[in-house]
Amino acid sequence: MIVDVLTLFPELFPGPMSSGVTGRGLAAGLITLRIHNLRDYTHDRHRQVDDVPYGGGAGMVLKPEPIFEAVRARTGRGPVILLSPQGERLTQQLVRELAANDDLYLICGRYEGVDERVAAHLVDREVSIGDYVLTGGELPAMVLIDAVGRLVSGVLGSEESPRDESFAEDLLEYPHYTRPAVFEGHAVPEVLLSGHHAEIERWRRAQASERTHRRRPDLLRHRER
Ligand code: 9D3
């Protein structure tokens, strides 16, 4: 998969994506990141990417022209995505949808926002990673690439393959333990040491169900069981 990123802060990339699973995907050529500096698509002496908001108000707004020019110069044919607090929420369902593309073009906003004509007339979708205020779309772009990248064929080893993750979405994980059997006086649940696989399976289901009810009842809303 080829992922193009349009940003005012190209030096932030690849950043944390150079390590771990995503780093391996990049090194193996399974994921290709192409970073584009929004300022390179300006033509004036000051390379101006922003301007004051029509109607007044605080802060600056990203101008439409450099963004339109950059996107029109793209080589990929996949969706153009604006990372924006006004976007649809990134969920595992959306991640799966996006992972079905050969390429993605991600636009990172900064400052107070992006001229609305970008959202209205240039991009295919707007995506938010959640309801908290960040300073720009770069970290959200990396979150999206991390989530989508691990679904790209070959990126995960056979040991860590994504199984059927639609199941994992509506239930939290059961608790995991490794050695030692007793750590600072805290013992691993007896059943896990029993070697009784059916009983272990039953215990894990019960744990997953119980903690989902307690911590994330919202996940159980549309669920029969
Ligand atoms: C402080 C300015 N805000 C007014 C209350 C509006 C605002 C503008 C720009 C808030 C955040 C941003 C920058 N954020 C993003 O570009 C962004 C984002 C986010 O802040 N949270 C979750 N997902 C995303 S995707 C892009």
Pair 137, 175 in one domain: no
Pair 40, 108 in one domain: yes
Domain boundary among 123, 149, 175: 149
Residue 10 covered by a domain: yes
Task: Output the residue whose Cα is nearest ligand 1's atom 10.
Answer: 133
Pair 32, 90 in one domain: yes
Pair 203, 120 in one domain: no
Which ligand 1 atom sits nearest the alpha carbon of residue 135? 13
In whole angstroms, give the CA distance from residue 102 to residue 29.
Answer: 13
| Any ligand 1 atom below 6 A from CB of 136 | yes
**CATH of residue 71:** 3.40.1280.10
Domain boundary among 94, 122, 149: 149
Pair 187, 79 in one domain: no
Pair 118, 169 in one domain: no
Predicted local distance difference test score (pLDDT) of residue 43:
98
Predicted local distance difference test score (pLDDT) of residue 160:
80
Predicted local distance difference test score (pLDDT) of residue 166:
64
In whole angstroms, give the CA distance from residue 58 to residue 109.
Answer: 16
Gap from CA of 60 to ligand 1 centroid (Å): 13
| Any ligand 1 atom below 6 A from CB of 66 | no
Pick from 17, 95, 113, 16: which is nearest to 57 by CA? 113
What range does the domain containing 136 cover? 2-149
Length of the chain (residues): 225
Gap from CA of 3 to ligand 1 centroid (Å): 22
Pair 37, 111 in one domain: yes
The total domain count for the chain is 2
pLDDT in tens, the chain (225 residues): 999 999 999 999 999 999 999 999 999 999 999 999 999 999 999 999 999 999 999 999 999 999 999 999 999 999 999 999 999 999 999 999 999 999 999 999 988 999 999 999 999 999 999 999 999 999 999 999 999 999 999 999 887 877 667 666 689 999 999 999 999 999 999 999 999 999 999 999 999 999 999 999 999 987 655
| 134-145 pLDDT tens trace | 999 999 999 999
In whole angstroms, give the CA distance from residue 202 to residue 51.
Answer: 60
| 8-35 pLDDT tens trace | 999 999 999 999 999 999 999 999 999 9
In whole angstroms, give the CA distance from residue 62 to residue 114.
Answer: 5
